[in-house]
């Protein structure tokens, strides 16, 4: 007798396998998105903000997680993003990567000029022939000074530039190696502390000046922003500056790869801006995180454009759930529809097969019924009885294997009873006719 797999367990197995695969796919899809972000050394304020942010995402089990990659300078930060080594980077607006778009501004870094001695220097035009100490004399800060000097009509070659580390500033001022110091950095955190220490050096009251032509320069150089330091922003007593001071600033920006999924950047931007208050409790510099000063409608076409995912969040577009999960819903609905259709077709096939098997048994029994009624002798009648018994055993086997159902077997059993009764009647007839 041929072994046939039961359709009930088969269907259940298929359902469980499909549901298991679906659950596995959903669990994999629900795993947090892990991104790498390039930041500067540990002592940099922006690195502390991103470290705190990464820690909070981990603690909150957020859908986005960050892994920090340390780099030494802004040029290497931009290069890491362009090369695809990282997904995100903290860069300066004057050293933007070619393949990066803005997510958020972490801080503004205004440039100013602090007169350290008795030199009569009140503006950029007075720097000709002077010695300018560039605090953190990196290539970026040197290039920034050259750019500003050219726009002010001063030949950069006429200015002596002296690269200073934070540790060199005090000795450079005391030894009168510089006439002016140019710090570029946030006015909060470590950068603000360095500026305060610089303003307190020497016997004379500190004097500072900015960039009076800031508005015009910012138009010509989109990487720069025109800002105004409020009265008393540097020293409160006496207030310094005594009046609002216009100047230029570069910005520290968190940028993402252009190809990074919009939905991922949307989530990242949302998490960053909703975490600012909590992050500020750990590192006050987080208070400076803000959106770029760009109209929402111009965000994507600005000189330093926003990433579309960040622009969507900042524009208040909260309809990103289906952008992220729409494909999943579509594929899931297709799979579910296919699963239901497949199961329905399988059930229909099995039921049809059961009906065919039951009909086959019934036809065989009806044939035996006719043969039993017309059996010419007891030998023919015993043959019919043996075939009926074999057919009954086969039907039991098919019932056990699920090849026929209980209803079909009941029909078969009813017909089989009729065959047995016909055999008994014909046997009596044959015995009665035997003496004659």
Instruction: Give CA–CA dist 198/181, Å, rounded.
Output: 9
> Are 314 and 232 found together in one domain?
yes
| Domain boundaries, position 195 | 108-318
> Are 271 and 314 found together in one domain?
yes
Instruction: Give CA–CA dist 110/246, Å, rounded.
Output: 10
Does residue 45 lie in a domain region?
Answer: no
In the chain, the number of structural domains is: 2
Q: In sequence order, which residues have a C-beta less than 8 Å from that of residue 46 and are 6 or more positions away?
A: 39, 40, 90, 106, 107, 252, 285
Q: What is the pLDDT along the chain (436 residues), one digit of tens a residue?
A: 343 444 555 556 666 666 666 666 555 555 788 999 999 987 788 999 999 999 999 999 999 999 999 999 999 999 999 999 999 999 999 999 999 999 999 999 999 998 887 788 999 999 999 999 998 888 899 999 999 999 999 999 999 999 988 888 888 888 889 999 998 888 776 666 667 666 666 556 778 899 998 999 988 888 899 999 888 877 766 778 888 899 999 999 999 999 999 999 999 999 999 999 999 998 988 999 999 875 444 555 567 889 999 998 988 765 554 455 555 555 556 666 666 666 666 566 555 565 666 667 677 777 877 887 777 888 887 888 888 788 777 777 777 766 666 776 777 778 778 878 878 887 788 777 766 5
DSSP state of 65: E
> Are 312 and 329 found together in one domain?
no
The angle that helices 7-29 and 321-373 make with each other, rounded to 10 degrees, is: 170
Q: What are phi and psi of 421, to 5 degrees?
A: -65, -40
Instruction: Give CA–CA dist 243/58, Å, rounded.
Output: 45
> Are 162 and 214 found together in one domain?
yes
> Are 159 and 260 found together in one domain?
yes
DSSP state of 306: B
- Which pLDDT belongs to residue 385? 82
Structure tokens at 401: 């294997």
Does residue 352 lie in a domain region?
Answer: yes
The angle that helices 189-199 and 45-59 make with each other, rounded to 10 degrees, is: 150
> Which helix (H) or strand (E) is 368 found in, with range?
helix 321-373
CB distance 420 to 390 below 8 Å: no
Instruction: Give CA–CA dist 319/324, Å, rounded.
Output: 10
> Are 249 and 384 found together in one domain?
no
DSSP state of 97: -
- Strand pairing of 160-164 and 131-135? parallel
Instruction: Give CA–CA dist 242/16, Å, rounded.
Output: 76
> Are 214 and 295 found together in one domain?
yes
The angle that helices 321-373 and 262-274 make with each other, rounded to 10 degrees, is: 130
Residue with tokens 């043996």: 386
CB distance 120 to 126 below 8 Å: yes
> Are 367 and 271 found together in one domain?
no
CATH of the domain at 274: 3.40.190.10
> Are 117 and 231 found together in one domain?
yes
Does residue 29 lie in a domain region?
Answer: no
Does residue 120 lie in a domain region?
Answer: yes
CB distance 46 to 74 below 8 Å: no
Does residue 60 lie in a domain region?
Answer: no
Domain end marker among 300, 318, 336:
318
Instruction: Give CA–CA dist 99/79, Å, rounded.
Output: 10
Residue among 157, 129, 113 nearest 248 (CA): 113
> Are 341 and 376 found together in one domain?
yes
Residue among 30, 23, 24, 105 nearest 62 (CA): 30
Residue among 334, 297, 337 nearest 314 (CA): 297
> Which helix (H) or strand (E) is 274 found in, with range?
helix 262-274
Collapsed DSSP state (helix, strand, coil) of residue 9: helix
> Are 173 and 275 found together in one domain?
yes
Does residue 136 lie in a domain region?
Answer: yes
Instruction: Give CA–CA dist 36/88, Å, rounded.
Output: 6
Beginning with the edge strand found earlier in the chain, give each strand of the sheet holding 113-115 in spatial order.
160-164, 131-135, 180-182, 113-115, 207-209
Domain end marker among 292, 318, 344:
318
Instruction: Give CA–CA dist 148/37, Å, rounded.
Output: 31
Instruction: Give CA–CA dist 140/91, Å, rounded.
Output: 11
Residue among 274, 265, 273 nearest 324 (CA): 265
Domain end marker among 266, 300, 318:
318
Does residue 32 lie in a domain region?
Answer: no
Neighbours of 380 (CB within 10 A): 15
Q: In sequence order, which residues have a C-beta less than 8 Å from that of residue 125 and are 6 or more positions away?
A: 152, 153, 154
Does residue 1 lie in a domain region?
Answer: no
> Are 348 and 267 found together in one domain?
no
């Amino acid at each position: 007798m041929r072994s046939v797999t039961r359709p009930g367990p088969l269907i259940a197995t298929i359902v469980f396998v499909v549901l298991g695969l679906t659950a596995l796919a959903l669990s994999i899809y629900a795993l947090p998105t892990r991104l790498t972000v390039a930041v500067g050394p540990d002592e940099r304020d922006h690195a502390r903000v991103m470290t705190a942010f990464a820690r909070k995402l981990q603690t909150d089990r957020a859908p986005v997680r960050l892994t920090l990659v340390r780099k030494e300078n802004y040029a290497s930060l931009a290069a890491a993003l362009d090369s695809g080594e990282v997904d995100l980077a903290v860069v300066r607006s004057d050293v933007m990567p070619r393949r990066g778009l803005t997510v958020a501004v972490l801080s503004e870094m205004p440039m100013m000029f602090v007169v350290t001695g008795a030199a009569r220097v009140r503006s950029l035009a007075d720097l000709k022939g002077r010695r300018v100490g560039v605090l953190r004399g990196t290539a970026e800060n040197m290039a920034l000074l050259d750019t500003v000097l050219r726009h002010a009509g001063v030949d950069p070659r006429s200015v002596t530039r002296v690269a200073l580390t934070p540790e060199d500033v005090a000795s450079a001022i005391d030894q009168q190696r510089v006439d002016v110091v140019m710090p570029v950095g946030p006015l909060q955190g470590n950068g603000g502390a360095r500026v305060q220490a610089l303003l307190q050096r020497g016997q004379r009251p500190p004097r500072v000046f900015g960039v009076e032509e800031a508005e015009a320069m910012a138009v010509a150089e989109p990487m720069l922003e025109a800002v105004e330091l409020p009265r008393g922003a540097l020293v409160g007593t006496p207030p310094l500056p005594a009046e609002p001071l216009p100047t230029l600033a570069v910005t520290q920006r968190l940028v993402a790869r252009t190809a990074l999924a919009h939905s991922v950047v949307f989530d990242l931007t949302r998490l960053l801006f909703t975490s600012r208050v909590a992050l500020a409790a750990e590192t006050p510099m987080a208070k400076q995180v803000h959106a770029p000063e760009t109209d929402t409608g111009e965000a994507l076409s600005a000189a330093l454009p926003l990433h579309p995912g960040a622009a969507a969040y900042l524009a208040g577009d909260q309809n990103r759930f289906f952008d992220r999960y729409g494909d999943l819903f579509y594929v899931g609905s297709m799979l579910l529809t296919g699963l239901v259709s497949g199961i329905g077709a399988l059930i229909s096939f099995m039921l049809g097969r059961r009906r065919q098997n039951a009909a086959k048994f019934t036809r065989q029994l009806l044939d035996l019924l006719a043969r039993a009624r017309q059996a010419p002798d007891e030998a023919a009648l015993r043959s019919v009885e043996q075939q009926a018994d074999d057919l009954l055993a086969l039907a039991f086997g098919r019932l056990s294997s699920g090849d026929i159902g209980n209803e079909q077997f009941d029909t078969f059993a009813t017909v089989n009873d009729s065959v047995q009764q016909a055999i008994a009647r014909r046997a009596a007839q044959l015995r009665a006719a035997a003496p004659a």
